[in-house]
Amino acid sequence: MRCHFLPDRVPVLLESWRRLCQPFAIDLSKIDRVFCDLFRVYSGSDRHYHNLTHIDRVLELVGEWKASNIDFPSLQFAAWFHDAIYNPKSSDNEVQSGKYAASKLAELGINPDKIDRVISLISYTQFHQAPTNDLEARILLDADLAILGSPSREYQAYARAIRREYSWLSESEYRAGRRRVLEQFLQRDRLYFLDIYYAKFELQA
């Protein structure tokens, strides 16, 4: 498997990706080829936050549910692909990420029903709302927003990274946009859907 550059965590992520794909009896060369493409899209020079570091963190939290009675592979695939397409000037990144996921999972020979489930999970990240009976979606959304409940130093690094992704906006435009986003979350009764993450992150957030 050849990728142009392998930072410290990428071999770990590659092994995680292989473990996810191998039960589907996929040829290793195909598994690695899709991983390299994921690596490419998440490693763009404009990816200051929505990159493999973020995916690594989401996968870590999602991994806590491995032994649960859920559709764990679909949840993992959704975690891998949910930010694959990210253009801060676009309003349909989640839709495009779902399309990208569908293309790559079809390339791997994943069952169409499972692909549809992955697309559905990714779609919930657009507005960060999910049905009360969809545990996988709620796990994904809480993991995606875990950074908001992180320690101050980690959160400040996140804030700087997001600002760099929106470097084309003036400071006043950026602050107004972020305020709107955060106010939408503040209007909710709670930021985190699941009690385990509410207890872990809500107070800090």
Q: Does residue 1 fall inside a structural domain?
A: no
Q: Does residue 15 fall inside a structural domain?
A: yes
Dihedral (CA of 4, 109, 79, 164) sign: positive
Token digits of residue 156: 């400040």
Q: Does residue 5 fall inside a structural domain?
A: no
Q: Does residue 4 fall inside a structural domain?
A: no
Instruction: Please identify every stretch of the chain with a pLDDT value under 50, giving residue numbers as ranges.
Output: 1-6
Q: What is the pLDDT of residues 93-117, one digit of tens each?
A: 999 999 999 999 999 999 999 999 9
| Count of domains observed in the chain | 1
pTM of the model: 0.94
Residues 6+ apart with CB under 8 A from 3: 10, 35, 36, 39
Q: Does residue 156 fall inside a structural domain?
A: yes
Residue 78, domain CATH: 1.10.1300.10
Q: Does residue 27 fall inside a structural domain?
A: yes
pLDDT score of 9: 85
Say how many C-beta atoms besides its own lie within 10 A of residue 175's C-beta.
12
pLDDT score of 7: 65
Token digits of residue 53: 């570091």
pLDDT score of 5: 45
The residue range of the domain holding 162 is 10-202
Q: Does residue 3 fall inside a structural domain?
A: no
* Residues 40, 21: Cα–Cα separation, whole Å: 19
Q: Does residue 2 fall inside a structural domain?
A: no
Burial class from Cβ neighbours inside 10 Å (0-12, 13-18, 19+) for residue 52 reads buried
